Amino acid sequence: MTGTWINIAAVLVGGGVGLFFGQRVPSRIRSTIFHAIGMFTLLLGVRMFLASQNPLYVLGGLLLGGGVGEFLRIEDRLASLGAWFERRWRQPAQESRFVEGFLAASLLFCVGPMTIIGSLQDGLTGDYQILATKAMMDGFSALAFAATMGVGVLFSTVVILVYQGGLTLFAAALQPWMTEAMMAELTAAGGVLLAGLAVSSLLELKPLRVGNWLPALLFAPLLVALFGG
């Protein structure tokens, strides 16, 4: 769970800085930093894809997973989940913004492909590089959130610990059933999703429904188990 602890530390540090100095950080600096993280994430995804031993399994996983994801409308459901929580917990303007900050930060830090990919990677292989990258983004987001929403943002670390840490421990429990070949294709499929996330959200080059590709993380290793021999 190393990646989760790094993520928690980044949110606490970023949120703490935001509480005291957030308003003084120019938006152009935040934008430049996020674009730098976006480029790093894109290249990290490419490097992960190169771990594939047979890219056809990755392609098959993406095609099957993307079809299932579109059928289940995973991306839309994730967005609807966030909207539901926002409506459910929206506070009157005169009341404390603690709950609003807590909820907004928790959703941002936990609902998304990078959380799932990184937690699986950390739990299955012990490689927390994806979660460390996510931690950098979450830290700067926490800075901006805390500057406007207050200390509630810091308490989102409880949700990160339970949700992201839980996914990591679940993945670790699956590790004995994963062969080296299955791990390679799952890593490669995760790399494609990371690259898509960078292009769509971080660099804002082209909108992609990356959330609908999440089933590829299941189908790519499953195809190896079925046809890998």
d(CA 216, CA 84) in angstroms, rounded, equals: 26
d(CA 128, CA 168) in angstroms, rounded, equals: 10
- Is the pLDDT reported for residue 23 higher than 90? no
Residue 122 has what pLDDT?
Answer: 92
- Biggest CA–CA distance in the chain, Å, is 64
3-state secondary structure of 161: helix
Burial class (CB in 10 A: 0-12, 13-18, 19+), 61: buried
Residue 191, both tokens: 């790399």
- Mean of pLDDT over the chain: 84
Residue 190 identity (one-letter amino acid):
G
**How far, in whole angstroms, is CA 164 from its chain's centroid?**
9
- Is the pLDDT reported for residue 183 higher than 60? yes
Round the CA-based radius of gyration of the chain to a whole number and report it.
18
- Is the pLDDT reported for residue 220 higher than 80? yes
Residue 110 has what pLDDT?
Answer: 80
Residue 94 has what pLDDT?
Answer: 41
pLDDT tens figures, 86-108: 666 555 554 456 776 777 787 77
Give the closest residue to 138 by CA, choosing from 105, 170, 163: 105
Range among 6-20, 67-81, 138-152 rated most confident? 6-20
More confident: 104 or 69: 69
Q: CB-based contacts of 165: which residues, under 8 Å, 6+ apart?
A: 1, 4
Total-model pTM:
0.79
* Domain boundaries along the sequence of the chain: 2-227
- Is the pLDDT reported for residue 223 higher than 80? yes
pLDDT tens figures, 73-87: 888 887 776 666 666
Residue 4 has what pLDDT?
Answer: 93
